[in-house]
Structure 1
Amino acid sequence: MGGKKEFKAAYFEKLEALLKEYKSIFIVTVDNVSSQQMHEIRQSLRGEGVVLMGKNTMVRRALKGLINDSPEYERLLPHVKGNVGFVFTNADLKETRNKILSNRVAAPARAGAVAPGDVYIPAGNTGMEPGKTSFFQALGVPTKIARGTIEITTDLKLIEAGNKVGASEATLLNLLNISPFTYGMGIYQIYDNGQTFDASVLDIEESQLLKAFSSAIATIASISLAVGFPTLPSVMHSVVNSYKKVLSVAIETDYEWEEISELKDRIANPDK
């Protein structure tokens, strides 16, 4: 019993120390990740990140104990569910993400496993003897006999993403030496400087942000000018438009100042 308490106390201390040392955390899924893969991921992150695993109940309890002093940690709690772990880092988030995701291994289909993506069988010669034709037919795989062997005539989606792999489907994929799945860490959520967000945010380029920002400024300016309500984006346009109106009035009247005199002279003498 004492050993358990000591282990929990040490874990809580380690988690607290890591939270203080690192500003960013990848909340990662570790379903079907082998111990060898975990070791390789730890090795690849050495010097720029730390992997911490633990029971969800223990992680939540540790975080709740820190919320009074650091309320931002509460944002982590909703994501501590399922088979997840933490990767702490102060390095570039994109680079760290790429290292986490690069360590994936191909795996054969297992009966009862849920397909993480659509599984296709490509057209082509299988090299199998005609006696196995009925096996393909039972699964709806279009075939013909070519040069004494079974040939799949068209590409076929055998399993849809989210469906369980059947025993016959698993057998067929293994016969064809197709390993349709890859297993490794997945990124569930990212915590950075007190905020949590989806990993897809890392794929947003600076040019996309600038384009969206410029578009938003243009929209605000247009609306402000249309309703006559001045805002920071519209002020310069309002000044320019007002100055144009002043110029128009001055050109049609005897009102003069140095710049308008030059403009009137150019209009009156275009060849000058």
Structure 2
Amino acid sequence: MAHVASWKKEKVKELADMMVNGQVVAIVDVHGIPSPQMQAIRSNMRENSSMVMTRNNLMLLALDEAAKQKPGLEKLKEQVHGQCAIVATPMNPFKLFRSMEKTKTPAPAKPGDIAPEDIEIKAGDTPFKPGPIVGELQKAGIPAAIEGGKIVIRKDKVLVKQGEAVPEDLAKLLPKLEILPMIVGLDLRAAYEEGVIYDKTVLDVPPDHYINLLATGAHNAFALGISIVYPTEETIKPLIAKAYREALSLSVEAAIPTKENVKILLAKANVGMLAIASRVPELGDERLTQQLAANAAPAAVEETKAEEKKDDEEKSNSEEGASFAGFGGLFD
């Protein structure tokens, strides 16, 4: 039997215990993070999370060991590759993902790095004075030239397309042009919580995304319940109010007097009576004459306002027409 170093056994046990005791366990990508930035990240995480980096084979062994107490944890093994670390934390996977995203910062590209998106240079001035560097820029495929005593970029150009490797000569020049195309920081690959694996595509959503979905669903369900007259604790009061309004409207339309609608019916009858009375000349009833006069006064005011508005519009149109006619005379 091959001898296994004691430190390896201790490291596997340390990792397994950390994962068993952690509410959420995640695998994070740490590729390309400079040492000073990594130290700062670990220092910020130390308060509520634990992060351990070690050999990938030891991580795999620790996942198998911890999975004996947390079934399903072994599914994280497929995320253990390249440069990665194990994180254990009480934060839920969504909060953990957002905290990881906050660690990311722009960084210069190293030779051979894969461009996360098109690396493009824009036309315009550069910070360089005329000299040998113009030849270096041109050799790297950058359309540089000397104009007016300074080096300029003559046109926009995509230097490296997304998914392609950054050439060595270009990688040396991009920082001098203040182009930092890489994003460096912790990249959460997947997280485990209570038997469920959450991958990046599930976690990469706005903080209020699911809250808005639930709110929209609740609103739509409530509207549907009202529409199909489905009584529940939430819809019963609006349904009763709706039924009352519809019953009142129907009773008024059918002229069926009730305690609730009698005033409305009397008012409606009064309006109808006045409309008929207005067509009868020389009424002998003084009260009717007074009511008709009282109703006629507001009507006359409204009619006057309408006529004034019409006159103003006609005047405005006339002035505008005259103005255009005068303007048209310039072209006669």
TM-score tier (shorter) = 0.7 to 0.9
- Are the aligned partners of 1:40 and 1:103 in contact in 2 as well (CA < 8 Å)? no
With over 3 angstroms needed to count, the CA separation of the structure-2 counterparts of 1:82 and 1:243, relative to structure 1, is farther
In angstroms, what is the RMSD of aligned CA positions?
Answer: 3.9
Structure 2 counterpart of 1:70, which letter? K
Aligned to 2:261: 263
- Are the aligned partners of 2:120 and 2:160 in contact in 1 as well (CA < 8 Å)? yes
Aligned to 1:205: 207
Using the TM superposition, give the Cα deviation of residue 163 of structure 1 relative to its aligned residue in structure 2, in angstroms.
0.8
Provide the secondary structure at the position in 1 that maps to 2:174: helix
With over 3 angstroms needed to count, the CA separation of the structure-2 counterparts of 1:178 and 1:12, relative to structure 1, is same
Aligned to 1:61: 61
With over 3 angstroms needed to count, the CA separation of the structure-2 counterparts of 1:70 and 1:177, relative to structure 1, is closer
- Are the aligned partners of 1:27 and 1:79 in contact in 2 as well (CA < 8 Å)? yes
With over 3 angstroms needed to count, the CA separation of the structure-2 counterparts of 1:10 and 1:268, relative to structure 1, is farther
- Are the aligned partners of 1:130 and 1:149 in contact in 2 as well (CA < 8 Å)? no
Structure 2 counterpart of 1:185, which letter? L
With over 3 angstroms needed to count, the CA separation of the structure-2 counterparts of 1:19 and 1:267, relative to structure 1, is farther
Provide the secondary structure at the position in 1 that maps to 2:260: helix
- Are the aligned partners of 1:113 and 1:165 in contact in 2 as well (CA < 8 Å)? yes
- Unaligned stretches of 5+ in structure 2? 271-332
Q: 1:99-156 deviations in whole A, cap 9, x for unaligned?
A: 6555567654333222233323343134243655555445553333224342213443
The TM-score with structure 2 as length reference comes to 0.62
Aligned to 1:33: 33
| Higher normalized contact order (CA 8 Å, seq sep 6+, divided by chain length) | 1
Provide the secondary structure at the position in 2 that maps to 1:115: coil
Structure 1 counterpart of 2:262, which letter? K
Aligned to 2:71: 71
Aligned to 2:154: 153
Aligned to 1:216: 217
What is the aligned-residue identity percentage?
Answer: 20
Q: 1:54-76 deviations in whole A, cap 9, x for unaligned?
A: 33343333323343432242453
The TM-score with structure 1 as length reference comes to 0.72
Provide the secondary structure at the position in 2 that maps to 1:230: coil
Q: How does 1:1-272 map to 2 (within 5 A)?
A: 2-4=3-5, 6-90=6-90, 100=100, 107-122=107-122, 123-129=124-130, 133=134, 135-137=136-138, 139-173=140-174, 176=177, 178-197=179-198, 198=200, 201=203, 204-206=206-208, 208-223=209-224, 228=228, 230=230, 232=232, 235-236=235-236, 238-251=239-252, 252=254, 254=256, 256=258, 261-269=259-267
Q: Which deviates more, 144-153 or 123-132?
A: 123-132
- Which whole-Å CA distance do the structure 2 matches of 1:130 and 1:86 have between them? 49
- Are the aligned partners of 1:130 and 1:145 in contact in 2 as well (CA < 8 Å)? no
With over 3 angstroms needed to count, the CA separation of the structure-2 counterparts of 1:146 and 1:219, relative to structure 1, is same
- Which whole-Å CA distance do the structure 2 matches of 1:74 and 1:231 have between them? 47
Using the TM superposition, give the Cα deviation of residue 164 of structure 1 relative to its aligned residue in structure 2, in angstroms.
0.7
- Unaligned stretches of 5+ in structure 1? none
- Are the aligned partners of 1:173 and 1:179 in contact in 2 as well (CA < 8 Å)? yes
- Which whole-Å CA distance do the structure 2 matches of 1:21 and 1:68 have between them? 13
Using the TM superposition, give the Cα deviation of residue 52 of structure 1 relative to its aligned residue in structure 2, in angstroms.
1.3
How many residue pairs are counted as aligned between the two chains? 264
With over 3 angstroms needed to count, the CA separation of the structure-2 counterparts of 1:33 and 1:167, relative to structure 1, is closer
Structure 1 counterpart of 2:61, which letter? R
With over 3 angstroms needed to count, the CA separation of the structure-2 counterparts of 1:121 and 1:200, relative to structure 1, is farther
- Which whole-Å CA distance do the structure 2 matches of 1:80 and 1:265 have between them? 79
Provide the secondary structure at the position in 1 that maps to 2:67: coil
